Amino acid sequence: MTRSLFLAELRAGLSGIPADERNDIMADYEAYFVEGAAAGRSDADVEAALGDPARLAKELRAEAGLKSWEENRNPKTFIRAGWALIGLGTLDVLMLPLVFVGVIVLGALIFAFSIVGFVGFSIAASAFHAGIAAPAMVLAGVGLVCTAVGAAALILILLGLGMKIFGGYARLHYRLLDKNNG
């Protein structure tokens, strides 16, 4: 593989990240080849040290996604980081079932607390029309809505913690400049 082919394949693999980040990464990897040539290394030696460009692109996309999420925590960056990590393929036989179970439990929690919130809202809304024990019904409804909102906040905190743990796990399993990678 030639330098230009390696860099073209790397650029193609980085298509999912913002252009300014992609250009910075490409400049860094072009510099590796220039520095390698200045040190008397061939392009093949530099390529061997960098590994497979497709795998390298996945690692760089995962790292870019994690950094983006760490700097700007919102649903878009969370989903982007999650997909990049899953695309990296660092999930081994032990981690994949845990992620699967975690997603099912999280979905069940979100469903349960949305039902609690809906029931609470319904009770509070119907209390205005009931007339009998209306203050108690309003308080019960507001209490259920507050429970659902608190549970949603807890779920968001747990999602953030899960992404941090998942990202740390992924970072332990990839090596950007390992000569044996590829």
pLDDT band per the 50, 70, 90 thresholds, residue 26: very high
Report pLDDT for 176: 39
Mean pLDDT of 113-137: 74
| 99 and 163 assigned to the same domain | yes
| 100 and 164 assigned to the same domain | yes
pLDDT band per the 50, 70, 90 thresholds, residue 27: very high
CA distance 63 to 170: 9
More confident residue, 9 or 2: 9
Domain assignment present for residue 59? The answer is yes
pLDDT in tens, 28-84: 999 988 998 899 988 888 888 888 888 888 888 888 888 888 888 888 888 888 877
Domain assignment present for residue 181? The answer is no
Domain assignment present for residue 103? The answer is yes
Query: pTM score, two decimals?
Result: 0.58
Report pLDDT for 128: 66
pLDDT band per the 50, 70, 90 thresholds, residue 111: confident
The sign one gets for the Cα dihedral 123, 124, 127, 133 is positive
Report pLDDT for 9: 92
| 159 and 101 assigned to the same domain | yes
Domain assignment present for residue 90? The answer is no
CA distance 91 to 80: 17
Domain assignment present for residue 166? The answer is yes
Domain assignment present for residue 25? The answer is yes
Domain assignment present for residue 104? The answer is yes
Domain boundary among 73, 107, 123: 73
- Round to the nearest angstrom and report the end-to-end CA distance of the chain: 14
Q: Which of 29-33, 127-131, 158-162 has the lowest mean pLDDT?
A: 127-131
Report pLDDT for 147: 86
CA distance 75 to 6: 33
pLDDT surpassing 80 at residue 143: yes
Domain boundary among 15, 39, 73: 73
- What integer best gives the mean pLDDT of the chain? 79
Mean pLDDT of 135-160: 82
More confident residue, 126 or 93: 126
CA distance 44 to 47: 5
Looking at the structure of the chain, the number of domains it has is 2
| 68 and 114 assigned to the same domain | no
Q: Which domain, by its residues, includes 119?
A: 95-173
CA distance 131 to 119: 19
| 102 and 153 assigned to the same domain | yes
